[in-house]
Structure 1
Amino acid sequence: MLEQIMNSANFDYLSRGLSAATMRHEVISNNIANVNTPNFKRSAVNFEDLLAKELHLGDEKGRLQLVRTNDRHLPMDVTDKAHAVIEEDGSTTMRVDNNNVDIDIEMAGLAKNQLYYNAMATQLGGFINKMKNVITSGQS
């Protein structure tokens, strides 16, 4: 039973989202720490776009999506699960020292990421509480 909960789609998506938010916080913090470093290029974390492609697997390639029509069918496991990726932005320059970190954008991104992380943590906590209530229902 516990294995089914831990392998559920909700738990999987939420835990990967939390990992991505944690990585994004570290990357943004690194960008802020290097705001005055000459030739430093900012980095960003890409996760949501990769997750959207995973969820719509096959749409852009013309393949049919897999559907499990009976509980006795073998479970389908998508092996190409999206994970957060750090991408460096070398295409722009903000100042004459070739640094491209804009402190205002980074601080806004940090605040946005904090809200995202809190929302994901709340959702994951709610999911775990629901599963706990289902498991312990009827017991005193």
Structure 2
Amino acid sequence: MNLFGNTISSLESGLDFSATKAKVISQNIANIDTPNYKAKNVSFKDVFADAKENNLHAYRTNPRHIDFNTQSTHSGVLNYSNLRYRNDGNGVDMDKEQANLASNQIYYNALVDRLNGKFNTLQNVIKGGR
């Protein structure tokens, strides 16, 4: 029996993805001056597309539901950029990385706020509404 439903585990997966994306963005920024460094990116869409190609299956409660049995534990697919922004072959665009970092931070904060709301609701239930 799943006591809290799938919401908390979904939020946890989202936080894992966001943390992975933040690490990749940090690596890109740290290697801004490394010659021939290729920028990396983490994409959830690519994970979904990859799973879809590999016959994604899931638990069906009704025979009329779509067959989706396996669950993927990926937090994202790592892609390399072939673009070069400088003569030394470096593929990191600092403006793009900073925008990605800000966007990822907003996403992370929204997930944390939602998770805090879930825990506050549970705490309220445990205390009996007091």
Q: 2:21 matched to which residue of 1?
A: 24
Question: How many aligned residue pairs are there?
Answer: 123
Q: Which runs of 4+ in 1 moved over 3 A?
A: 48-54
2:12 pairs, out of 10, 15, 27, with: 15
Residues 61-140 of structure 1 correspond to what in structure 2 (within 5 A)? 66-67=60-61, 79-137=70-128
Shift of 1:30: 0.8
Instruction: State the Cα distance separating 1:39 from its structure 2 match.
Output: 0.6
Q: So what's the TM-score if we normalise by structure 2?
A: 0.76
Which residue of 35, 39, 51 maps to 1:38?
Answer: 35
Aligned partners of 2:47 and 2:77 also within 8 Å: no
Amino acid at match of 2:19: T
Q: For the Cα contact (< 8 Å) 2:32–2:94, is it kept in 1?
A: yes
Query: Shift of residue 51 of structure 1?
Result: 5.9
- Provide structure 1 residue ranges, at least 5 long, that are not aligned to the other structure: 69-77
Q: Which amino acid aligns with 1:118?
A: N
Contiguous gaps of at least 5 residues in structure 2: 63-68
Please state whether the residue corresponding to 2:88 is helix, strand or coil. Answer: coil
Higher mean displacement: 80-89 or 102-111: 80-89
Question: Aligned equivalents of 1:19 and 1:32: distance in 2?
Answer: 20
User: Aligned with 1:4: secondary structure?
Assistant: coil
The equivalent residue for 2:65 is none
> Residues 134 and 50 of structure 1: is their aligned pair in 2 closer, same or farther, counting only changes over 3 Å?
farther
Distance 1:50 1:91, change over 3 A: same
Identity of matched residues, %:
36
TM-score (norm 1): 0.71
